[in-house]
Each structure stands twice: as C-alpha cells, then as structure tokens.
Chains A and B, each alone.
Chain A
Amino acid sequence: MRNRVWSLFLALLNVNYGWSAAKYYYLKKRQRVWEPIVIAASIGPVLVMMLWFSWVMTEQLFMAGLSFGQPHLPLVIGTLMVAVVGLFFGFFYVLSSFYFSNDLPTLVPLPLRSWEILVAKLGVILTGQYVLGAFVLVPMIIRYGLLARGGIPYVVIALTVFLVLPVIPLVIASILAVLLMRFVNLSRFKDRLTLIGGILLLVIVFGSTYWMQENVGTDDPSVLIERVLSQADGLIYSIGRVFPPSVWSAQALGYATNATGWLNLFYLLLASVVGLVVLYLLGEKVFLQGALAGFEGSRGRRKHKQVEVQGESNSAFLTLVHTERKLFVRDPNFALNGLVGYVLFPVMLLIPLFGASLEGNPFERLDLGGLHPFLVVGGIALFFTLMIAMSMIPSTTFSREGRYLWIIRGLPLSIEQIMATRVVAAQMVNTIGCLLGLIPVSYLFGWRIWEVVLGTVFGIILSSTVAYLLVLLDLSRPMLDWVNPVKAVKSNLNAIFGLLGTSILGLLLGFIFYLNVQSQTLWLIPFELLLISLLLGSGGWYLGRQVAWKLWSKI
C-alpha cells in the first residue's frame, strides 16, 4: 500500500506520459513498434543540440562576463530562461490540468483533500519542467562548475537550486490560474484565451523595450549590453527587478564558497516556502470550488460539430473554414500543442539579444538588424512555412475529427473543396499567429515595413502550398481511433512526418539563400520563392486531383 498522494501522483504521471498505453501497444500488442523509434530519432538530435548549445553558451558567456568582472553571467541568463519558460508553460499546463481536465469528477468524490489533488497534479507538471530544465541547467551547472572550479559547496548549492528553481514560477503560475478559475468563468473565453496570450506577449515585448529605453537610455541591444555590463552587477540587478529568484539562484551558484552564496540560497528557499504556503491556503480555500464551478453551465465536453449548409456553396465553404478554425483553437488539447510554436519562436529569437555584442558569440555574425531586405523577405516566408507545419493544423486535420468524421463525410461537398477549407483555416490561424510574433521582432530589429509585408505575402503563398500537401498527407493516413484528443495531435505521426518534410524543404531553401549570399544574387530570392511555390502548388494540385477522392472514399 502506497501513500495516497504518491499513488495519485504516479497514476497521473502515467496518464500524462502514457507509459501504460505505450507498454500496452508496443510491448503487449506489438503494434506500431516503429513509432517510438521514429519519434526518438527525430527528437534525439534536438535534445543533443540543446545540451550542446547550453554547454557552449555557458562557456562563451562565462568568458565574456569575466572581462566585466561578472563571470556568473551565464547563470543569470540560464536560470532566467528556465524561470520564464517555466512561468509561461506552467500557466498553460496548470490551466489545462485543472480547468480543462475531465478527471476532477472522478477525483473529488474520493477521500482526498484539495491540496492533495493540487500537489499531485502540480507534481506532474513539475516533473516535466525538471526534465526540460535539465537540458539547459545540467550542462550549464557542470560547465560553470568546471570553469569556476566550484567545490563541494557548489555541488550542494547547484543541486538545491536545480530542485527549487522551477518551483517558484510554477507556484506563481498556479496562483494566477487558481485565482483566474475562481473569479472568471473561463469557458466563455476559451476562444479568446489564445488571443489574450498573444496580446500579452506583444505588451511584454514592447513594454520591455520601452522600459529599457527609459532605464538604460537605449534600445540598441549591443550598446545596451555593453552599458549594462560595464556597471558592476548591473545586468543582474536589472534582471533582478523583473524576477528576483533567478538572481538569487545565480548569486547562490556564483558565490558558493562564501556567505553571500548561502544567503541567496536561503532567500530562494524562503521564497519557495512562502509561495507554497500561499498556494496551500489558496488550494484549500478556492481551488476545488473554482475547478468545479467550471463544470456548471458547460453541459457537454467536446461539442458535436454542427455545420450549417445553407444556400449557396460559398457560405458552406466559409462555415466549414470557420468551424475548422474554431474547433482547433477552442479545444485546449489541440490549441496548447499547436500554438506554442507561435510564441516560442519569437521568444527564442529575442533571447540571444542578451548576448548580441559578446565576442565570439555565434549570433554576432548573424546581425539580424542589418540583414539584406530580400533575406528578410525569404526568412519571413520560411518562418511562415515552418510554422504552419509546426502548428500541426493541416497535418492532423482529418485525424482530429476522429469519430466525428462522418459529419463532414455526409456533406454535399467534394474532397477538393473540403481540403481547400482546411488550407484556408490553417492559413488564417497561421497568419495571425506568425504576425503576432513577427511584428515585435521586426520592430526590434528595425526591419522595414515593405520587407515584412512582402515576406508575409510570400510566406502565405508558400505555406499554403505546403499546407495543401500536409492536408493530403493526413488524408492518406488519418488517425481516427483516438479517445483522448491529445493523441490526435501529440502522438500523430502525420504531424511529425509533416514537420520533417517541411524542415527538409526549409533546409533546402536555406541552402539556396546561402548560395545567393555567396554569389551575391540576393535579388533572385523573390523569384525563387515564387518558383518553389509554383512547383509545390501545381504538384500538390495535380496529386490531389489524382488521388484525393480515392483516399477519401477509402477511409
């Protein structure tokens, strides 16, 4: 007999990561055994890259920091990154695991206290964050330890920091989520939630550049970094004002040999304990009521699709487009998995800003602000194309219907028309999502409006042709037999194949651009984009004419 909270935690972990499901399918039934191999082969390299990147960045930032008398610069940036990403994902994961999850009616009648459910669920999220954070923190801590020759105290502090650091952002995210659940009836806002997230991102980006201008007097990243670094502990304090725990972590690691280090570790622990106590009190008082209030009013969970086919075919077309778009954005299982890329990419582009002027920094040579206009156009087109694959909207469009597929099958529309509605819907989400990230990034790098507009136009054209091919891919082997909607996107191989294929196209395009740079024929880029779109578009269209109806009638 195990402790009940521990048992619940293990069960939730199992459900979340599908261990039993994996065992059942791969080992017991021996079905789709090649799936985990493909997944490991595609994810493995990315993880190795992350480890390597963190290792190298730590070294570079350490050296750069050393010249300003701030060798623990990599620690500040690394811990801040983990904290920010933890806060962001934490918020969405907390919402999805408390508010959108359907297991509360099972758990509530059991003799468990509110905080026990809360702890088990947070534990699952936290576990995920440790695993993800490890890819940044472990290489960073080891590399730094080697460079700074930290002894036993460093190891002790490092372990503590590693364990405690993700707790605070998660506690903040949960407090926000618990309060939100209690006082706002979210189900009415599910549509707008993603939009609000996007706007929030805009506000943060613009706000932080404004703040930097006000406080440091410039928004030119290279000047900024130099100025901040030349003041003793300057950068650390400016970051500390935004998120103190990351500074405490960095100081604890950086001064592991003396009292400052332990004092900062103490702050970090104290803050976590205070946070946990607040969360415990909130959990006991409002968590369950908030979560259960969510079940009132909303009678069903997944709504059946209802498509009105009235009047001319035109309106049926648009209705289908909007239905597809709404159903994707509304279902948190789909939206959370598909839309993160739109937020993550711009953030990842912005993070190197911190190191923009450091010697030997690989980003220095890139000089994103001074790119040739046509390279910007090409880059944006590429961005749109990669994003549409990453959103998984086109590549899982039929799979997501699952057992509701019969609804569209019954409609008096040809498969070509249905595919077109899927492409348009995916493109609508993609364009909005891409622009949300693109606008602040262009603003920061000072790209001109016509570059961005032209890039967007090419991006829409190219990514639509790719989307058509992805829809065709999903039509050829839709995965319809899911019970849990997450399966339809997360463990759908069409999404992975689509992403792989699109990445290869991206690499190819990147290589062509590289050749253009070498031979100084950058003016060719728009024509190349058009040509490729034309090739893919006509190829896809031809293929669609040949096989789509056959595939459709075979499902």
Chain B
Amino acid sequence: MIRLQGVSKRYKGASTHAVRSLDLEVKPGEIFGFLGPNGAGKTTTIKMIVGLLKPDQGRVLVNGHDVNAEAVAAKHSMGFVPDKPDLYPRLTGMEYLNLIGDVYGIDGATRRRRLQHYLEMFQLTEAAGDLIQSYSRGMQQKLALTGALLHAPALFILDEPMVGLDPKSSHLFKEIMRDHVAKGNTVFFSTHVLEVAEQLCHRVGIINQGELIACGTMDELRKSPGRAGSSLEKLFLELTDEGGSDEK
C-alpha cells in the first residue's frame, strides 16, 4: 500500500538530513505504527507520503501510484489528518465536510450516511453548524478525522492522532482503525504513546535521527538476542539510545 524507496529529505539550510535513505513497505490490511523520539523525522516522512514535501531522493508509492508523478491518483486513495489540523476557522464544521465531500466526489446518499455515522459517533452533530473557530482542540481533531474518513480511504494516514482526544474518543478511534483495516484498508500513524502501538499495531517501525533503526512485528523485534520478553518501551529506549551513541 505504501512503499518508500530510498527516500531522503534535507530541509533548506539544515546541516543534516531530516530523513535519510528510508526504505519501508506497508501492506494492505495492516495497522502500522511509526515511532521515534522528538525530531526523529516522523512528521517529515508523513509529509512526503501525502505530498506536502517533495523528497530530495527516492520515490514514494501509494496504492501503486507515485505520489509526485501521479499526485491526484495517489491522493484519491489517502485520507490524512495532520498533527495540528488547521482548518478554515470561518467555515462551519458542516461546510468544511461538504467541501471535502465535493473534492473527493462523494455522492449525496453515501455522504449523508457516513456523515451521520461519524458525527454521531464523535458527538459532533450539534456542533456541526457552528464555526470551526468556536471548536475546542479535540473537536477540531475529530472534525479532521471525520473529513479524512469521509471517502473511506484505502490508506488512512495520521500524525499523532491521539493527542487531544478524551479517553472515550480515543477508544472510539481505536475501534475505527480496527474496523477500517478489517475491510482491507491500511492505517499508518505516528505516535508517542507506546501502549497504543503495542495494543493496536500489526507492525511498528522505529525511526531515529532520520534513519529507520527497527521495523517488524512485536515478536520480530523481540527476537533479537537479549531482548526476549522486553516491553516495547524498553525496546524503544534501548534502540533509540543506541542510535544516539552511534552518532557520537
């Protein structure tokens, strides 16, 4: 579903790469967790997948389409929620969702059905007629989620989706992710909450200083010598620490 081939990115004026020759494959039907310390390059990678940044080297394929060469086709199969959704504050929630619906070309009946489903689930039905600028942070997050799910994307991609959600919403949200992959779709998300990753993800990737230092199922990660039975937290701390000391 996602394939990164030797992807590198260095921001203008930066001395080091934010992401360095990253190879990664995420298969259909998978929930993939993307982990790493602050500044590791998670957001940068996600931005390259959704087409917000152009890689300096390498290719990004989504659903078989090159994100840069066949942008529109690739984007049709994605739904994206950024880490800090910045939605038009002067539209109402409903107006925003209808804009998204029109852009993806979702017919009226399907649109109404899905909107009703998600808005009720997130308890946004009441607020949908209000201006987005009057929403709380979590409400904005849920609105962005609804917008991204509206076209039932083959690939659902999220940057730190748990931040700002109340316990009930984040529970619902985990349910949504499981449902979504059960239908053969794919979920890719970055997070700092390791418990969530451990519970939810079929596979995880750990990135540190722009390089993928581990990738696989929980069992595969534990297989390496001396790590049998470790928690993901312990693994994460050891791995990212090694990466740091390698550099020095």
Q: Say yes or no: is A20 at the interface (Cβ < 8 Å to chain B).
A: yes
Q: Is the CB of B86 within 8 A of A110?
A: no
Query: What's the Cα separation between A11 and B98 when bound, in Å?
Result: 9
CB distance from B31 to the nearest CB of A (A): 20
Query: What's the Cα separation between A341 and B91 when bound, in Å?
Result: 30
User: In the complex, which residues 120-178 of chain B have their Cβ closer than 8 Å to any Cβ of chain A?
Assistant: 129-131, 133-134
Q: Say yes or no: is B192 at the interface (Cβ < 8 Å to chain A).
A: no
**Given contacts A7-B98, A484-B90, is CB(A108)–CB(B52) below 8 Å?**
yes
**Given contacts A109-B51, A111-B76, is CB(A7)–CB(B12) below 8 Å?**
no
0/1 string, A99-121, CB within 8 A of B gives 1: 00011011011111100000000
Q: Is the CB of A14 within 8 A of B103?
A: no
Most chain B CB neighbours (cut-off 10 Å) among A15, A113, A289? A15
User: In the complex, which residues 79-105 of chain A have their Cβ closer than 8 Å to any Cβ of chain B?
Assistant: 102-103, 105
Chain A residues whose C-beta falls within 8 Å of the C-beta of B71 in the assembled complex: 111, 113
CB distance from B211 to the nearest CB of A (A): 21
CB distance from A29 to the nearest CB of B (A): 9
CB distance from B45 to the nearest CB of A (A): 14
Residue of A nearest to B82 (CB): A105
Q: Is the CB of A7 within 8 A of B104?
A: no
CB distance from A120 to the nearest CB of B (A): 10
Query: What's the Cα separation between A109 and B106 when bound, in Å?
Result: 17
Q: Say yes or no: is A186 at the interface (Cβ < 8 Å to chain B).
A: no
Residue of A nearest to B13 (CB): A297
User: In the complex, which residues 71-87 of chain B have their Cβ closer than 8 Å to any Cβ of chain A?
Assistant: 71-73, 75-76, 78, 80, 82, 85-87
**Given contacts A7-B102, A24-B130, is CB(A110)–CB(B88) below 8 Å?**
no
Question: In the complex, which of the residues B13, B80, B103, B106 contacts A8, with contact meaning CB atoms closer than 8 Å?
Answer: B103
Q: Is the CB of A21 within 8 A of B103?
A: no
Q: Is the CB of B90 within 8 A of A108?
A: no
Q: Say yes or no: is A32 at the interface (Cβ < 8 Å to chain B).
A: no
CB distance from A148 to the nearest CB of B (A): 45
User: In the complex, which residues 46-104 of chain B have their Cβ closer than 8 Å to any Cβ of chain A?
Assistant: 50-54, 71-73, 75-76, 78, 80, 82, 85-92, 95-96, 98-104
Q: Is the CB of A15 within 8 A of B91?
A: yes
Chain B residues whose C-beta falls within 8 Å of the C-beta of A295 in the assembled complex: 52
0/1 string, B100-118, CB within 8 A of A gives 1: 1111111110010000000
Question: In the complex, which of the residues B12, B51, B73, B100 contacts A108, with contact meaning CB atoms closer than 8 Å?
Answer: B51
Q: Is the CB of B95 within 8 A of A20?
A: yes
0/1 string, A505-523, CB within 8 A of B gives 1: 0000000000000000000
User: In the complex, which residues 5-60 of chain B have their Cβ closer than 8 Å to any Cβ of chain A?
Assistant: 11-13, 50-54
CB distance from A98 to the nearest CB of B (A): 15
Q: Say yes or no: is A403 at the interface (Cβ < 8 Å to chain B).
A: no
CB distance from B77 to the nearest CB of A (A): 9
CB distance from B106 to the nearest CB of A (A): 7
Q: Is the CB of B99 within 8 A of A111?
A: no
Q: Is the CB of B75 within 8 A of A15?
A: no
Q: Say yes or no: is A2 at the interface (Cβ < 8 Å to chain B).
A: yes
Residue of B nearest to A22 (CB): B90
**Given contacts A4-B105, A20-B92, is CB(A110)–CB(B100) below 8 Å?**
yes
Query: What's the Cα separation between A4 and B75 when bound, in Å?
Result: 14
Chain A residues whose C-beta falls within 8 Å of the C-beta of B53 in the assembled complex: 292, 296
Chain A residues whose C-beta falls within 8 Å of the C-beta of B52 in the assembled complex: 105, 108-109, 292, 295
CB distance from B218 to the nearest CB of A (A): 30
Q: Is the CB of B95 within 8 A of A103?
A: no
Most chain B CB neighbours (cut-off 10 Å) among A6, A15, A110? A110
Kindly count the residue-residue contacts between A and B in the assembled complex, taking CB atoms under 8 Å apart: 99
**Given contacts A8-B99, A111-B72, is CB(A483)–CB(B88) below 8 Å?**
no
Chain A residues whose C-beta falls within 8 Å of the C-beta of B99 in the assembled complex: 7-8, 11
Q: Is the CB of A483 within 8 A of B133?
A: yes
Q: Say yes or no: is A3 at the interface (Cβ < 8 Å to chain B).
A: yes
Chain A residues whose C-beta falls within 8 Å of the C-beta of B54 in the assembled complex: 289, 292
Q: Is the CB of B95 within 8 A of A14?
A: yes
CB distance from B240 to the nearest CB of A (A): 23
Residue of B nearest to A102 (CB): B86
Residue of B nearest to A12 (CB): B88
Q: Say yes or no: is A18 at the interface (Cβ < 8 Å to chain B).
A: yes
Residue of A nearest to B46 (CB): A109
Chain B residues whose C-beta falls within 8 Å of the C-beta of A484 in the assembled complex: 89-90, 133
CB distance from B128 to the nearest CB of A (A): 12
Q: Is the CB of B90 within 8 A of A15?
A: yes
Q: Say yes or no: is A293 at the interface (Cβ < 8 Å to chain B).
A: yes
Q: Say yes or no: is A1 at the interface (Cβ < 8 Å to chain B).
A: yes
Chain A residues whose C-beta falls within 8 Å of the C-beta of B104 in the assembled complex: 4, 110-111
**Given contacts A20-B131, A293-B12, A484-B90, is CB(A110)–CB(B101) below 8 Å?**
no
CB distance from A37 to the nearest CB of B (A): 21
Q: Is the CB of B78 within 8 A of A297?
A: no
Most chain B CB neighbours (cut-off 10 Å) among A106, A108, A109, A484? A109
Residue of A nearest to B84 (CB): A105
Q: Is the CB of B103 within 8 A of A15?
A: no
Chain A residues whose C-beta falls within 8 Å of the C-beta of B86 in the assembled complex: 102-103, 105-106
Q: Is the CB of B90 within 8 A of A20?
A: yes
Q: Is the CB of A14 within 8 A of B105?
A: no
**Given contacts A21-B131, A109-B78, is CB(A3)–CB(B102) below 8 Å?**
yes
Q: Is the CB of A297 within 8 A of B11?
A: yes
Question: In the complex, which of the residues A4, A18, A103, A292 contacts B103, with contact meaning CB atoms closer than 8 Å?
Answer: A4
CB distance from A104 to the nearest CB of B (A): 8
CB distance from A208 to the nearest CB of B (A): 39
Q: Is the CB of B75 within 8 A of A109?
A: yes
Query: What's the Cα separation between A7 and B101 when bound, in Å?
Result: 9
User: In the complex, which residues 1-41 of chain A have their Cβ closer than 8 Å to any Cβ of chain B?
Assistant: 1-4, 6-8, 11, 14-15, 18, 20-21, 24, 28
Question: In the complex, which of the residues A2, A102, A110, A185 contacts B75, with contact meaning CB atoms closer than 8 Å?
Answer: A110
User: In the complex, which residues 263-302 of chain A have their Cβ closer than 8 Å to any Cβ of chain B?
Assistant: 289, 292-293, 295-297
- Top 10 closest pairs, chain A to chain B, by CB: A7-B102, A111-B75, A109-B50, A109-B80, A111-B76, A483-B133, A11-B99, A21-B90, A4-B103, A483-B89
A-B contacts, 22 of them at CB < 8 A, read A1-B102, A1-B105, A1-B106, A1-B111, A3-B102, A4-B105, A8-B103, A14-B91, A28-B129, A105-B52, A106-B85, A108-B50, A108-B51, A108-B52, A109-B50, A109-B52, A110-B100, A110-B104, A111-B103, A112-B75, A289-B54, A297-B13
Chain A contacts to B: CB under 8 angstroms: 1-4, 6-8, 11, 14-15, 18, 20-21, 24, 28, 102-103, 105-106, 108-113, 185, 289, 292-293, 295-297, 483-484
